[in-house]
């Protein structure tokens, strides 16, 4: 798709007649993209609905519990619409989704939209902090390892990057809590904010860092940052593995190329070759890798959220799944799904930008 | 971050004062007038007393609402006055007239007979999870309006059709579902004939020590002192924080960032016992763990010889002493210790040779395999693996299949299982709660545990119904002892353990009280 | 530039190339060692891995039990040795399913572009957004519990990353002189994809595979409660770590030892992957 857009633009001339064409040709690919976006979300909703209904969880039984009487159970089934044929159930959900809200969660009793507005920013905040840390350190490690291939530095860099990923994240989180919170007191305990601030700072955006900053309360921002630090570091450990390994591999692959041998023959230093020639060439791949890691952080932060009592969308979706809470499952999956599609589209655009004009 | 409701503005003042007086360091202690509890609140579905039936919710009802009568905190068998000052049993043995005390709801409204009528009738009509408790009195949606009537401004009369005595009825009225809600606050919030259920899911309208300041699902429940309550709490506020990971909970209470931590495992508690600054409280609980056999699954499982042999293949001592370390004690009857009439005999011990003989005498050939579905959680997985090991010594292979709770319950209801590990917590403080589950199954019509075991017992059913009718307490106790002996000797249930709830408290916490039954958690007298 | 790649796999020259790369050598040595452990388990393990001795539970490492005992008094060393089997099996199944599927989708979309790319990428997006646990739940209902079904559930939700990576690389290659040269010589279609694009896309896929290894083991442990892993009391590294996390603060070795085993295995495979990358890169010597 980005390629079509570029070729269209390239064909434009500067005539005034063509300017109006230019505006229109922006709309057409955009609307095509929106259409495919909607289709993707619909497909996702359909698959999610089907899988949830196939799973052995009975939402009515989950809701009323095992001690409830048969009449209570049957009443719950009716209220949840479980007696209706599947296609009818599905279209009811689509209807509520299209009307703007995602319905009411069975397990929290609150509108799903409200739940998501609370939990999604928490996850985004955590994942973003983690990916920034992870990308910076990961790139550095990868480049170092590639430039010093075969030496102990390479081995060490590879071990460090692997360590954070191979160690269970649960484990890593708990041990870091033990060390940095319980023993050293460098960071506060699990949670997003101190009890004192939790109920005095108004939630405007849902992002703790932003809300505490705007509130102007002394120490609030520092507290939010301190609470964010440890889980972000734990997740970053995870993210940097893929980034550093794939950076290293990509650089090494390029180092075997003809243009590098040529540059070497001309007397360029390794440093110059890597930073001026290679990195721009592989920037597309690097961006894709970083974006993939970001996506996996958005989706897979459940374990970290559990250990650090971070009320994010990962945990929300997981508890919803165990409860068979269809509105919540659909709502959360669609929101996460939409952000993935957006992320992938932005990545594709970025890759197209970065690789436009580069030749091998 | 939670959104501040108007009621929470008072709460924010509380914390702002704390802020003003202490520069919050990274290692902050909890504020002096706030109790911070670290536990899991993921189970909470609704804070409407007519609907909530999970541990988190019923424990909070105790602190937010009051009932007509309540169980004595130290001796659950004694019933004492709460919102009702006195009561009189009717001459026909099927009614009670209560004289209401002067009490006020959090809103300032007085507690009137209209509130009692509203609370109880709505609970029956809404027909949510705990409604079956009130159904025990014969109350149904079509007859409950006539059953509960106002006598005058201070008196309300309750009648019932079920064949039970007034002692039993009083026990039922101590259950959380019988909490009295403020009709004048709740009715205006009603939508689509839901009697205010939608609003009460996340708000409170009670006369208890605390009110709900804010509830953020999966994050925290914040309770705030109720100035109008006759039961004034010592601490200004209680924050029940959701800390899903058990290890993190332990760190919080060790560091003083939480005052109370619940649900820690036996091994963790063992490690904490000697730490300074915290203490471990071990409270006997009414929860029991038992093996449930499906007698209809195959001839072997339906053979009483197998039931008997199974009783000798459980490593009671190994499980309680080594695996669960003080979180459970051995108990082999269906009424837990602490309930009147409980049978405390424990005639069974691990005896593989005896079990083998019983199997041989009963015509059961080994080796054979049983599918053993188990909740994917502790302590069930631990207990299951221990059972696997001991049953194997008699030639029985237990194929452990961990599963999700609702799936296992569904299979239980449908009779699609062979053997499973379950727990039972009484729904209200009366022997009938357990007896009706294990000793009633006339014809597979009602959903009792006996039915799930495929065990039809018309005679035991009659005995149980006679026991609940009995008015004399001592006679009742004997009847239940009798029932327990019969079931202990031969039934598709193998009762093994009665639980001890171990709660970790910071040394600062004083006067924390917890009772035998699941809902009996009291925060009102706690001081720091 | 030498356009056609010599068959990179097979033959004595391959072995020589492996030995020349120190990464590959060390990596394969450790991997072979672990395979040996798995195969020879009954001969090497000092105890029965399922033998419970609850009186001796959670013992620290000692002469009798080199790695101590777990929550049931079972010898951890024996459980590690036996645990290599289901762990490696699981990894094998997932890898064999996940990578080919993802790479195929990626190459096809990157090469053909247009509508093929759009459709395939939409499907990739959907699968990527789909909560993994949900699929696992559905699997239990449709296909029943079991280790292989768990592996399947994991594989079916993890291929998108491979697809996106392969697509980016294929698309970049699409415009390259290298490919244009091959096409000019008359190499088209499947031959082109298989012989020219695949070998260039493979190295980074192998790197990602080796990296994913430990993630797969741990994710599979997470599915254990659905019955999609090994059943208790079977030893498997991932579930041993989960069990050990319960007592992580005081009896740290119960989770640390299997965790370390996972780390070593992962490191070995990653070294091997690095070596393979060196060998497979047709532009290398």
Report, as an integer, the average pLDDT of B492-503: 95
A196 chain-B contacts, CB cut-off 8 A: 15, 18-19, 24, 28, 31
Task: Give the model's confidence band at B108: pLDDT under 50 very low, under 70 low, under 90 confident, else very high.
Answer: very high
**pLDDT at site C284:** 47
Task: Give the model's confidence band at A8: pLDDT under 50 very low, under 70 low, under 90 confident, else very high.
Answer: very low
By Cβ distance, the residue of C52, C71, C251 closest to B389 is C52
Of the candidates C215, C233, C230, the one whose C-alpha atom is nearest the C-alpha of residue C148 is C230
Record: contact B1-A187, CB cut-off 8 A: no
**pLDDT at site B449:** 95
**pLDDT at site B425:** 94
pLDDT at A11 over 80: no
**pLDDT at site B239:** 95
Task: Give the model's confidence band at C277: pLDDT under 50 very low, under 70 low, under 90 confident, else very high.
Answer: confident
pLDDT at B25 over 90: no
pLDDT at C2 over 50: no
Cβ atoms of A343 and A295 within 8 Å: the answer is yes
Tokens of A92: 């009811």
Beta pairing, strands B513-514 & B521-522: antiparallel
**pLDDT at site A323:** 86
Beta pairing, strands B237-242 & B220-225: antiparallel
Report, as an integer, the average pLDDT of A220-231: 92
**Helix C237-245 with C198-222: angle, nearest 10 deg:** 40
Report, as an integer, the average pLDDT of C37-55: 89
Within a domain: C136 = yes
pLDDT at C139 over 90: no
Tokens of C64: 């009798």
Range of C35's domain?
Answer: 21-41+70-284
pLDDT at B401 over 50: yes
In this predicted structure, which of A8-17, A67-76, C79-88 has the lowest mean pLDDT? A8-17
pLDDT at A21 over 70: no
Task: Give the model's confidence band at A32: pLDDT under 50 very low, under 70 low, under 90 confident, else very high.
Answer: confident
DSSP for B209-275, please give it.
SEEEEEEETTTEEEEEE-TT-SS--SSSEEEEEE---HHHHHHHHHHTS-SEE----HHHHHHHTT-
Record: contact C52-B323, CB cut-off 8 A: no
Beta pairing, strands B95-100 & B84-89: antiparallel
CATH number at residue C171: 1.10.3720.10
Using the Cβ of A69 and the Cβ atoms of chain B, whether some distance falls under 8 Å is answered with yes
A306 chain-B contacts, CB cut-off 8 A: 244-245
Within a domain: C109 = yes
pLDDT at C5 over 60: no
Neighbours of chain C (3+ CB pairs under 8 A): A, B
H/E run at residue C161: helix C160-174
C22 chain-A contacts, CB cut-off 8 A: 150
Give me the residue label for tokens 């004690």.
Answer: B329
Chain A interface, mutation test: which of B37, B41, B46, B218, most A Cβ atoms within 10 Å?
Answer: B218
C122 chain-A contacts, CB cut-off 8 A: 36, 39-40, 43
pLDDT at C6 over 80: no
pLDDT at A358 over 60: no
Of residues B392 and B446, which shows the higher confidence score?
B392
Record: contact A55-C140, CB cut-off 8 A: yes
**pLDDT at site B213:** 93
The pLDDT tens digits for A69-116 are 899 999 999 998 888 898 999 998 888 888 777 888 988 888 999 999
**pLDDT at site A7:** 40
In this predicted structure, which of B196-210, B383-397, C110-124 has the lowest mean pLDDT? C110-124
Of the candidates A191, A250, C88, A230, the one whose C-alpha atom is nearest the C-alpha of residue B28 is A191
Distance, in Å, from the CA atom of B125 to the CA atom of B118, rounded to the nearest integer, reads: 10
The pLDDT tens digits for C69-79 are 998 899 999 99
Kindly report the number of other CB atoms within 10 A of residue C183's CB atom.
12
Task: Give the model's confidence band at A282: pLDDT under 50 very low, under 70 low, under 90 confident, else very high.
Answer: confident
The alpha carbon of residue A177 and the mean position of all alpha carbons in its chain are separated, in whole angstroms, by 23
Task: Give the model's confidence band at A18: pLDDT under 50 very low, under 70 low, under 90 confident, else very high.
Answer: low
Mean pLDDT, all residues of chain B: 91
Q: Phi first, then psi: what are they for C281, rounded to 5°?
A: -65, 110
Nearest Cα residue in chain A from C203: A249
Kindly report the number of other CB atoms within 10 A of residue B342's CB atom.
20
Mean pLDDT, all residues of chain A: 85
**Helix C253-280 with C22-39: angle, nearest 10 deg:** 130
Using the Cβ of A187 and the Cβ atoms of chain B, whether some distance falls under 8 Å is answered with yes
Chain B interface, mutation test: which of C235, C246, C250, most B Cβ atoms within 10 Å?
Answer: C246
Of residues B144 and A200, which shows the higher confidence score?
B144
Domain total of chain C: 1
Write the ipTM.
Answer: 0.88
**pLDDT at site C12:** 63
DSSP for A285-308, please give it.
HHHHHHHHHHHHHHHHTHHHHHHT
pLDDT at B452 over 90: yes
C245 chain-A contacts, CB cut-off 8 A: 168, 170-171, 174
Q: What is the pTM of this model?
A: 0.88
Cβ atoms of B328 and B289 within 8 Å: the answer is yes
Record: contact A292-C267, CB cut-off 8 A: no
Q: Phi first, then psi: what are they for A347, rounded to 5°?
A: -60, -45
Within a domain: C75 = yes
Within a domain: C52 = no
Within a domain: C61 = no
Task: Give the model's confidence band at C222: pLDDT under 50 very low, under 70 low, under 90 confident, else very high.
Answer: confident
With H, G, I as helix, E, B as strand and everything else as coil, classify residue A135: helix
Of the candidates A210, C238, C74, the one whose C-alpha atom is nearest the C-alpha of residue A201 is A210
Within a domain: C175 = yes
Q: Which residues pair with B374 in a beta bridge?
A: B402
The pLDDT tens digits for B114-147 are 999 999 999 999 999 999 999 999 999 999 999 9
pLDDT at B293 over 70: yes
pLDDT at A152 over 80: yes
Cβ atoms of B291 and B310 within 8 Å: the answer is yes
By Cβ distance, the residue of C145, C232, C250 closest to B381 is C232
**pLDDT at site A203:** 82
Record: contact B216-A311, CB cut-off 8 A: yes
Tokens of C100: 């080919």
Of residues B206 and C188, which shows the higher confidence score?
B206
**pLDDT at site C10:** 53
The fraction of chain B above a pLDDT of 90, given in percent, is 80
Distance, in Å, from the CA atom of A287 to the CA atom of C167, rounded to the nearest integer, reads: 13
Cβ atoms of A240 and A134 within 8 Å: the answer is yes
Within a domain: C152 = yes
Within a domain: C186 = yes
Task: Provide the sign of the torsion angle of the four alpha carbons B401, B404, B410, B412, taken in this order.
Answer: positive
Tokens of B434: 């357990």
Distance, in Å, from the CA atom of B437 to the CA atom of B451, rounded to the nearest integer, reads: 9
Cβ atoms of B29 and B257 within 8 Å: the answer is yes
Identify each DSSP E strand in B153-246 by its residue range: 155-159, 210-216, 220-225, 237-242
Mean pLDDT, all residues of chain C: 84
Distance from CA of B401 to the nearest CA of C (A): 6
Q: Half-sphere exposure of C38 toward its Cβ, with a 13 Å CA cutoff?
A: 18
C133 chain-A contacts, CB cut-off 8 A: 318, 321
By Cβ distance, the residue of A61, A65, A316 closest to B53 is A65
By Cβ distance, the residue of A109, A181, A196 closest to B251 is A181
Distance, in Å, from the CA atom of C175 to the CA atom of C179, rounded to the nearest integer, reads: 7
Give chain A's radius of gyration (CA, Å).
25
Distance, in Å, from the CA atom of B231 to the CA atom of B207, rounded to the nearest integer, reads: 8
The pLDDT tens digits for C53-67 are 888 889 999 988 999
A258 chain-C contacts, CB cut-off 8 A: 1, 283
**pLDDT at site A313:** 92
**pLDDT at site A335:** 92
Record: contact C134-A51, CB cut-off 8 A: yes
Distance, in Å, from the CA atom of C24 to the CA atom of C17, rounded to the nearest integer, reads: 9
With H, G, I as helix, E, B as strand and everything else as coil, classify residue B283: strand
Record: contact C224-B386, CB cut-off 8 A: no
Task: Give the Å distances, CA to CA, from B172 to B25, B48, B218, B411.
Answer: 49, 18, 31, 30
**pLDDT at site C149:** 85
Report, as an integer, the average pLDDT of C11-35: 81
H/E run at residue B503: strand B493-506
Report, as an integer, the average pLDDT of B210-239: 93
Task: Give the model's confidence band at B398: pLDDT under 50 very low, under 70 low, under 90 confident, else very high.
Answer: very high
By Cβ distance, the residue of B28, B53, B131 closest to A194 is B28
Neighbours of chain B (3+ CB pairs under 8 A): A, C
pLDDT at B277 over 80: yes
Distance, in Å, from the CA atom of A294 to the CA atom of A282, rounded to the nearest integer, reads: 18
Of the candidates B199, B157, B158, the one whose C-alpha atom is nearest the C-alpha of residue B181 is B199
Identify each DSSP E strand in B128-202 by its residue range: 148-152, 155-159
Distance, in Å, from the CA atom of A35 to the CA atom of B263, rounded to the nearest integer, reads: 49
Q: Which of residues 299-318 of A touch B (CB under 8 A)?
A: 306-309, 311, 315-316
Using the Cβ of A2 and the Cβ atoms of chain B, whether some distance falls under 8 Å is answered with no
Q: Half-sphere exposure of A215 toward its Cβ, with a 13 Å CA cutoff?
A: 25
pLDDT at A169 over 90: no
Report, as an integer, the average pLDDT of C259-272: 88
pLDDT at B302 over 50: yes
The pLDDT tens digits for A299-333 are 768 889 999 999 999 999 988 988 889 999 999 99
Length of chain A: 360
**pLDDT at site B11:** 57
Task: Give the model's confidence band at C246: pLDDT under 50 very low, under 70 low, under 90 confident, else very high.
Answer: confident
Chain A interface, mutation test: which of B34, B124, B406, most A Cβ atoms within 10 Å?
Answer: B406
Task: Give the model's confidence band at A161: pLDDT under 50 very low, under 70 low, under 90 confident, else very high.
Answer: confident
Of residues A195 and B374, which shows the higher confidence score?
B374
Helices and strands: H and E segment counts in chain B: 20, 19
């Amino acid at each position: 798709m980005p390629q079509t857009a570029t070729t269209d633009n390239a064909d434009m001339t500067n005539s005034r007649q063509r300017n109006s064409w230019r505006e229109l040709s922006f709309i057409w690919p955009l609307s095509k993209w929106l259409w495919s976006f909607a289709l993707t979300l619909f497909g996702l909703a359909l698959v999610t609905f089907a899988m949830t209904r196939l799973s052995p969880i009975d939402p009515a039984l989950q809701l009323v519990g095992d001690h409830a009487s048969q009449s209570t159970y049957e009443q719950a089934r009716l209220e949840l619409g479980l007696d209706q044929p599947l296609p009818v159930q599905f279209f009811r959900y689509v209807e509520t989704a299209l009307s703007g809200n995602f319905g009411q969660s069975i397990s929290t009793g609150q509108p799903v939209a409200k739940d998501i507005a609370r939990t999604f920013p928490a996850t985004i905040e955590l994942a973003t902090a983690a990916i920034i840390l992870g990308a910076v350190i990961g790139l550095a490690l990868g480049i170092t390892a590639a430039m010093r291939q075969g030496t102990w530095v390479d081995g060490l860099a590879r071990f460090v990057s692997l360590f954070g990923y191979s160690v269970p994240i649960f484990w890593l989180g708990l041990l870091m809590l033990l060390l940095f919170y319980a023993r050293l007191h460098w960071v506060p305990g699990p949670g997003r904010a101190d009890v004192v601030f939790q109920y005095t700072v108004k939630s405007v955006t849902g992002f703790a860092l932003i809300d505490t900053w705007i509130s102007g309360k002394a120490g609030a921002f520092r507290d939010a940052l301190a609470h964010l630090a440890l889980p972000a570091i734990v997740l970053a450990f995870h993210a940097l593995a893929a980034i550093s390994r794939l950076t290293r591999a990509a650089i090494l692959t390029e180092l075997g190329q003809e243009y590098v041998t040529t540059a070497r023959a001309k007397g360029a230093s390794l440093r110059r070759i890597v930073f001026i020639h290679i990195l721009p060439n592989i920037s597309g791949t690097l961006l894709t890798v970083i974006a993939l890691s970001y996506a996996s952080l958005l989706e897979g932060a459940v374990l970290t959220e559990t250990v650090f009592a971070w009320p994010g969308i990962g945990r929300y979706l997981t508890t919803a799944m165990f409860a068979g809470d269809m509105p919540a499952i659909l709502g959360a999956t669609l929101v996460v799904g939409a952000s993935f599609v957006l992320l992938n589209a932005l990545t594709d655009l970025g890759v197209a930008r970065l690789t436009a004009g580069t030749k091998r | 971050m939670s959104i501040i409701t108007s009621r929470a503005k008072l709460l924010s003042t509380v914390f702002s004062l704390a802020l003003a007086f202490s520069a919050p360091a990274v290692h902050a202690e909890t504020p002096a007038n706030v109790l911070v509890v670290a536990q899991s609140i993921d189970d909470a579905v609704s804070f409407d007393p007519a609907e909530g039936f999970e541990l988190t919710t019923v424990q909070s009802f105790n602190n937010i609402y009051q009932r007509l009568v309540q169980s004595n905190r130290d001796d659950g068998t004694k019933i004492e006055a709460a919102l009702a000052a006195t009561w009189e049993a009717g001459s026909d043995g099927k009614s009670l007239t209560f004289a209401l005390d002067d009490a006020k709801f959090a809103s300032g409204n007085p507690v009137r007979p209209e509130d009692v009528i509203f609370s109880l009738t709505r609970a029956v009509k809404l027909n949510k999870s705990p409604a079956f408790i009130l159904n025990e009195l014969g109350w149904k949606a079509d007859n409950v309006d006539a059953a509960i009537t106002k006598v005058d401004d201070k008196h309300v009369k309750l009648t019932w059709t079920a064949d039970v005595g007034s002692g039993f009825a009083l026990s039922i009225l101590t259950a959380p579902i019988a909490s009295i809600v403020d009709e004048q606050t709740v009715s205006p919030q009603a939508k689509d004939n839901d009697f205010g259920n939608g609003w009460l899911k996340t708000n409170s309208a009670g006369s208890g020590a605390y009110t709900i300041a804010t509830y953020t699902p999966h994050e925290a429940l914040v309770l705030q002192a109720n100035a109008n309550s006759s039961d004034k709490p010592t601490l200004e506020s209680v924050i029940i924080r959701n800390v899903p990971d058990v290890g993190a909970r332990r760190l919080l209470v060790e560091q003083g960032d939480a005052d109370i931590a619940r649900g820690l495992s036996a091994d963790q508690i063992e490690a904490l016992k000697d730490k300074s600054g915290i203490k471990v409280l071990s409270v006997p609980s009414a929860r029991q763990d038992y093996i449930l056999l499906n007698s209809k699954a195959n001839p072997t499982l339906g053979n009483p010889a197998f039931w008997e042999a199974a009783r000798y293949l459980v490593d009671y001592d190994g499980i309680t002493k080594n695996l669960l370390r003080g979180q459970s004690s051995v108990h082999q009857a269906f009424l837990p210790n602490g309930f009147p009439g409980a049978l405390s005999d424990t005639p069974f011990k691990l005896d593989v040779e005896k079990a083998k003989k019983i199997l041989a005498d009963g015509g059961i050939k080994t080796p054979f395999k049983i599918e053993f579905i188990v909740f994917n959680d502790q302590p069930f997985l631990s207990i299951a693996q221990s059972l696997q090991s001991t049953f194997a010594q008699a030639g029985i292979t237990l194929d452990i299949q961990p599963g999700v709770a609702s799936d296992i319950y569904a299979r239980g209801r449908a009779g699609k299982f062979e053997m499973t590990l379950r727990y039972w917590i009484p729904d209200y403080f009366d022997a009938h709660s357990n007896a009706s589950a294990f000793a009633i199954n006339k014809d597979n019509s009602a959903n009792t545990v006996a039915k799930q075991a495929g065990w039809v017992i018309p005679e035991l059913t009659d005995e149980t119904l006679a026991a609940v009718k009995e008015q004399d307490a001592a006679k009742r106790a004997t009847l239940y002892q009798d029932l327990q002996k019969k079931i202990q000797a031969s039934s598709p249930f193998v009762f093994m353990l009665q639980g001890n709830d171990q709660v970790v408290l910071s040394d600062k916490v004083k006067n924390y009280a917890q009772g035998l039954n699941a809902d009996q958690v009291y925060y009102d007298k706690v001081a720091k | 530039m030498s356009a056609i790649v010599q068959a990179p796999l097979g033959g004595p020259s391959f072995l020589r190339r492996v030995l020349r790369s120190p990464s590959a050598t060390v990596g394969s040595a450790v991997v072979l060692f672990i395979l040996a452990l798995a195969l020879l388990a009954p001969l090497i393990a000092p105890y029965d891995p399922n033998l419970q001795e609850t009186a001796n539970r959670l013992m620290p490492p000692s002469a009798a039990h080199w790695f101590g005992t777990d929550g049931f008094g079972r010898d951890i060393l024996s459980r590690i040795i036996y645990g290599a089997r289901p762990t490696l099996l699981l990894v094998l199944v997932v890898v064999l399913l996940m990578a080919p599927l993802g790479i195929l989708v990626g190459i096809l979309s990157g090469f053909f572009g247009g509508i093929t790319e759009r459709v395939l990428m939409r499907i990739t997006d959907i699968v990527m957004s789909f909560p993994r646990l949900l699929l696992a739940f559905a699997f239990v209902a449709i296909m029943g519990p079991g280790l292989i079904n768990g592996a399947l559930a994991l594989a079916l939700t993890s291929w998108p990353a491979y697809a996106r990576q392969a697509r980016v690389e294929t698309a970049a290659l699409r415009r390259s002189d290298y490919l244009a040269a091959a096409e000019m010589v008359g190499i088209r279609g499947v031959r082109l994809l298989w012989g020219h694009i695949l070998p260039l896309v493979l190295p980074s896929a192998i790197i990602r595979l080796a990296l994913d290894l430990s993630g797969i083991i741990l994710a599979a442990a997470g599915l254990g409660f659905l019955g999609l892993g090994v059943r208790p009391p079977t030893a498997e590294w991932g579930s041993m770590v989960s069990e050990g996390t319960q007592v992580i603060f005081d009896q740290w070795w119960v989770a640390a030892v299997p965790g370390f085993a996972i780390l070593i295995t992962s490191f070995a495979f990653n070294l091997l992957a690095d070596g393979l990358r060196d060998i497979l890169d047709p532009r290398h010597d």
